[in-house]
């Protein structure tokens, strides 16, 4: 675009001007300019207020060139871009602050994020990595609002075919959740915002599973579950229909991957045990996983961890599911120690009830079997492990 300053019939075409009209090569009105000109062209320092309200203030050399600041808006949302300009476009490293609190610091080209950059959401969480035509590519890092790394992921997907101009990023206050999804890779780590516990995750087929057992002691809304350490308290919580959890054998030294054991009331509790954006898998979810891994007869050995199973019962963990033999807790009132089969059995709850009756589904892996068994139980007092699935 050519910027032509209309100085008037008898005014000088060079020097300092104030609030002069600017037209393009076709005579179309662009806005009003204040600053230095040379031969009716903007040069050095100047400010242009566009007819639509946009403002550029900075260096000129016939067009926007050099260091400059650009204020604009999309659907009423303001943003400010500061950086280097070349041939009327921002290039190289810039800083863009959006009115809703979002921010981009990094490289741009052709009005798009291109190169290394940090894109911060309005809530303070951020994504740092490489961008190509507004989309994250390759490896990057997701951080929480305190700057703690919660995921290091690799993007191996193709960007959308339709291009989106840089400033449409701000449209309707859009955050990068819709564009920088930390679960687009094949594996990584995420943090449960309820308690800041970190969990590994793995993509298996079209599903994203936790690669560790759930270890939460609060529901999604922050309400605490009841901890039942003694067998007496465990049984009484079952009798009273209370959501409860325990650590196997009350051993606080277990590695985090084993997680907690939960009774059925915790699974069915409307307060929701899974982290935000996750759910306890249904029978349909489990079947999809098992079928992807070759069916019940073949899936078990692929799901079991390649360590920690007794009697030579380790799996191959080809799936990355990394199931551990976390044992279970029984419901027999007369038994003083209700824990059983740690090291040889891992059982995981399904959210689905059995045929709509009081019985409930669960899935069991054993040291002595390479398959996975589908079970059902008529007791809600029993305690099993939980794996969560991404919504």
Quote the CA–CA distance of 247 and 363 in Å, as a whole number.
Answer: 19
Residue 329 backbone dihedrals phi, psi, to 5 degrees? -125, 130
**What local confidence, expressed as pLDDT, does residue 167 receive?**
37
From the list 339, 318, 323, the residue with the least C-alpha distance to 383 is 339
Judge if pTM exceeds 0.75: no
Q: How far apart are CA 372 and CA 347, in angstroms?
A: 10
CA atoms within 13 A on the CB side of 88: 7
Residue 20: partners with Cβ closer than 8 Å, 6 or more residues away: 5, 6, 7, 32, 33, 34, 37
As given in the structure block, the two tokens for residue 8 are 């008037």
372: its two tokens: 């996975």
Question: Would you give the end-to-end CA distance of the chain in angstroms?
Answer: 48
Comparing CA positions, the residue from 105, 53, 116 lying closest to residue 81 is 105
Report, as ranges of residue numbers, the positions in the chain whose pLDDT lies below 50: 9-11, 156-181
pLDDT value of position 7: 61
Domains by residue range for the chain, with CATH: 1-61 (no CATH), 64-183 (2.20.110), 192-390 (no CATH)
pLDDT for position 75: 62
User: Two tokens at 77?
Assistant: 């949302």
Radius of gyration of the chain (CA): 30
Count CB atoms within 10 A of the CB of residue 222: 9
For residue 135, the model assigns a pLDDT of 75
What's the confidence (pLDDT) of residue 208? 93
């Amino acid at each position: 675009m050519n910027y032509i300053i209309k100085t008037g019939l008898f005014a000088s075409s060079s020097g300092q001007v104030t609030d002069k009209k600017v037209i393009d090569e076709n005579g179309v009105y662009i806005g009003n300019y204040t600053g230095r000109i040379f031969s009716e062209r903007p040069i050095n320092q100047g400010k242009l207020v566009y007819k639509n309200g946009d403002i550029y203030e900075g260096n000129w050399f016939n067009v926007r060139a050099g260091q400059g600041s650009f204020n604009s808006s999309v659907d009423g949302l303001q943003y400010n871009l500061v950086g280097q300009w070349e041939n009327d476009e921002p290039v190289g490293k810039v800083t863009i602050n959006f009115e809703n609190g979002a921010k981009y610091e990094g490289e741009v080209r052709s009005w798009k994020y291109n190169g290394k950059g940090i894109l911060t959401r309005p809530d303070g969480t951020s994504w740092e990595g490489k961008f190509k035509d507004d989309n994250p590519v390759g490896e990057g890092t997701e951080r929480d609002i305190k700057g703690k790394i919660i995921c290091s992921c690799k993007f191996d997907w193709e960007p959308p075919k339709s291009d989106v101009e840089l400033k449409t990023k701000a449209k309707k206050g859009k955050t990068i959740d819709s564009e920088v999804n930390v679960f687009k890779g094949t594996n990584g780590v995420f943090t449960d915002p309820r308690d800041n516990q970190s969990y590994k995750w793995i993509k298996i087929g079209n599903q994203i599973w936790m690669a560790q057992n759930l270890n939460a002691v609060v529901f999604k809304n922050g309400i605490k579950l009841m901890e039942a350490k003694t067998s007496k308290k465990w049984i009484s919580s079952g009798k009273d229909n209370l959501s409860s959890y325990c650590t196997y054998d009350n051993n606080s030294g277990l590695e985090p991957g084993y997680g907690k054991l939960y009774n059925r009331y915790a699974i069915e509790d409307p307060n929701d045990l899974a982290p935000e954006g996750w759910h306890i898998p249904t029978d349909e979810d489990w079947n999809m996983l098992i079928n992807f891994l070759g069916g019940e007869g073949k899936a078990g050995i692929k799901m079991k961890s390649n360590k920690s199973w007794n009697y030579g019962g380790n799996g191959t963990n080809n799936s990355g599911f990394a199931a551990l033999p976390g044992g279970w807790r029984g419901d027999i009132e007369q038994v003083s120690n209700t824990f059983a089969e740690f090291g040889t059995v891992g059982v995981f709850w399904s959210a689905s009830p059995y045929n709509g009756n009081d019985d409930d589904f669960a899935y069991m892996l054993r040291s002595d079997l390479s398959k996975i068994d589908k079970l059902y139980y008529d007791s809600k007092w029993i305690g099993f492990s939980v794996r969560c699935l991404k919504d």
